[in-house]
Chains A and B, each alone.
Chain A
């Protein structure tokens, strides 16, 4: 039976290359967004309605520089990769150039994300 196999950590050994890494990262970033932004909404609700210390602590952690850098990574990456998937699904002829498109996506991502992180870190260092 072709489907009778365990996946689990063996997926990491699968040499799918760049496009497979994007699939992996798309899932990880998607789950991260659902969990962390869901918790942020929940914490904001507690903070707004009950003035809860727990919610305030969670939002302080969420809005710290390190966590924001992580959140922007997953959000911007998930958005750009989703756009690539939509474009490739709509014009299947382009799947031929999948590797090139993936590299182009990384270039665009590094420009957008790098600029965001650069501005954030510079403003934190200069203290304004």
Chain B
């Protein structure tokens, strides 16, 4: 087993992702609070159970509330504002999560072709999830 090389001081991938993890974490919490406040604003108090409200909070997609007792979904719940919110949640959430997987995996790896392989795999997983989620958003 070879030793791990110490990360150099300066601007590199690990530093950038360290900053990004903090920023995206705060952003996700702010987006979640926006989703929850918006749901109450649109009448979730009398139209939703708490599980549906939580699903809407973390991903404000009309499919998440389709089983609730909402008379007209189109004006308040399904429009461009919430689509942009969903895309922001998808971007920050998927990137934060995939970077988290990378950090966990690289704790068990040394710097070798094996690490490059995992980074490539996680990059393609990231791309795949982004495309999938944006497809779901635009088609719903």
Contact = CB atoms under 8 A, between A and B. Distances in A.
Interface of A: 1, 3-4, 7, 27, 30-31, 33-34, 37-38, 41-42, 44-45, 48-49, 63, 65, 68, 72, 75, 79, 82-83, 86, 89, 116, 119-120, 123, 128
Label chain B's interface by main secondary structure.
Answer: helix
B25 A83 contact: yes
B9 interface: no
Interface residues of B, number: 30
> Which 3 A-B pairs have CB atoms at the shortest separation, nearest pair first?
A34-B97, A82-B25, A119-B50
A123 B51 CA distance: 10
B4 A79 contact: no
Contacts of B55: 63
Interface stretch (B37-45, B75-83, B130-138): B130-138
A72 B54 contact: yes
A33 B100 CA distance: 11
A83 B54 CA distance: 19
B105 to A, nearest CB: 10
B28 A27 contact: no
Contacts of A41: 129, 132-133, 136
B110 to A, nearest CB: 9
B3 A1 contact: yes
A45 B54 contact: no
Interface of B: 1, 3-4, 22, 25-26, 28-29, 32, 49-51, 54-55, 58, 63, 93, 97-98, 100-101, 104, 108, 129, 132-133, 135-136, 139-140
A123 B50 contact: yes
B22 A86 contact: yes
Contacts of A83: 25-26, 29
Contacts of A89: 22
A44 B104 contact: no
B30 to A, nearest CB: 11
B97 A33 contact: yes
A65 to B, nearest CB: 8
B104 A45 contact: no
Contact of B1 (A4, A37, A63, A72): A4
